[in-house]
Amino acid sequence: MSPPRTAGDSSTSAARLTFTVALLTMLAPFSIDSYLPSLPDIAREFAAADWQVQQTLSLYLLAFAATTLIYGPLSDAYGRRVVVLTTLVLYAITSVGCVFASNVHWLLAMRIGQGLTASATVVVGRAIVRDAFSGAAAQRVMSQIMLFFSLAPAVAPIIGGYLHEAYGWRSVFWFLAVVALLLCGWTAWRLPETLAAADRHPAHPLALAAAYGRALMHGRFMLLVLSIAFCFGGLFLYVAGSPALLYRHLGYGADDFGYLFIPVVAGLMGGAYLSGRMAGHFSHD
């Protein structure tokens, strides 16, 4: 049997792999930002309080964060492709579940399901980059991927706003289900397995706990983690409060929503571009 293809076969395959991983990582921000213009209407339809509807974002993020600790070891044990493809199918199913939600509690459960599955695209995507690239090359690739990742918060609410105005809030989740299935098809067709069978190893809970413990005790690592956490914490604080701010206090409509994210996205994309330009110019020691 021929060995699995790797990303290093050619510059073309490397570019295709980078593009595929970038598309995969866009699913997570699309899951957050595309339905934000619909939050007030969701609250009205379900006769729910604002805080209940905002939990559709908070619980999604909580589920997303929890499973980031799981998908890395799973993909180390079973390979990258199978984890990504399985979670994309499950994500599509939970998105359809959101479409048919009859109350806010059902919607909350399905949003948790989306969070549990969407995190695989980000976690395994980074593992794929680590498999295929190293050093400054890996940093440059991650910066290119971040450009796509940063573009999603601008594009997603624009698409979501127009879908909401034209077809109602449930159409946004139909859109997410279709996107997940298209990504699944593209990934099955174009993404090679970057972790050879000989390099895989089963996940042992005690070994994983020890590894996470060492990471938590690593001072420099935790400083970097906290710096990213505070940055994204500020971003998601704005994201969670933006529907009430923009609709009620500033009088904007659903189709205006996405354009007001453009300054934030410009900053994210600018930072990703600078990171790529500076890759290799500073010591990692």
| 162: its two tokens | 């127009």
Residue 8 and residue 129 in contact, taking contact as beta carbons nearer than 8 Å: no
Distance between CA 189 and CA 187 in Å, rounded? 5
Give Cα separations from 98 to 2, 92, 95, 273 (angstroms). 42, 10, 5, 35
- In this predicted structure, the answer to whether residue 14 has a pLDDT above a threshold of 80 is yes
- How many CA within 13 A on the CB side of residue 44? 6
What is the residue-averaged pLDDT of the chain?
86
Q: From CA 183, how far away is CA 85, in angstroms rounded?
A: 9
Cα gap 274→105, rounded to integer Å = 42
Q: Taking the complete model, does pTM exceed 0.75, yes or no?
A: yes
Which pLDDT score, from 0 to 100, does residue 61 have?
Answer: 93
Is the pLDDT at 8 greater than 50? The verdict is: no
* pLDDT number for residue 87: 98
Task: Give the model's pLDDT for residue 144.
Answer: 85
Q: Which two tokens mark 284? A: 């990692």
User: Which residues have a Cβ under 8 Å from the Cβ of 155 and sit 6 or more positions away?
Assistant: 30, 258
pLDDT digits (tens, 9 = 90+) for 119-134: 999 999 999 999 999 8
pLDDT digits (tens, 9 = 90+) for 226-250: 888 888 777 777 777 777 677 777 7
pLDDT digits (tens, 9 = 90+) for 260-276: 777 777 777 777 677 76
Q: What's the pLDDT at 3?
A: 40
Give me the pLDDT at residue 284, please. Answer: 54
Mean pLDDT for the stretch of residues 37-54 = 91
Distance CA 42, CA 68 (A): 28
Do the Cβ atoms of 32 and 242 come closer than 8 Å? no
Q: Which domains does the chain have, with CATH numbers?
A: 9-205+253-278 (1.20.1250.20)
Q: Would you say residue 285 has pLDDT above 70? A: no
User: Is residue 7 scored above 70 in pLDDT?
Assistant: no
In the numeric block, the tokens 């089963």 are attached to: 202
pLDDT of res. 224 = 84
Regarding predicted confidence, which is higher, 283 or 69?
69
Tell me: pLDDT of 278 over 60: yes
DSSP state of 95: H
SS3 16: helix
What digits encode the pLDDT tens for the residues 72-93?
999 999 999 999 999 999 999 9
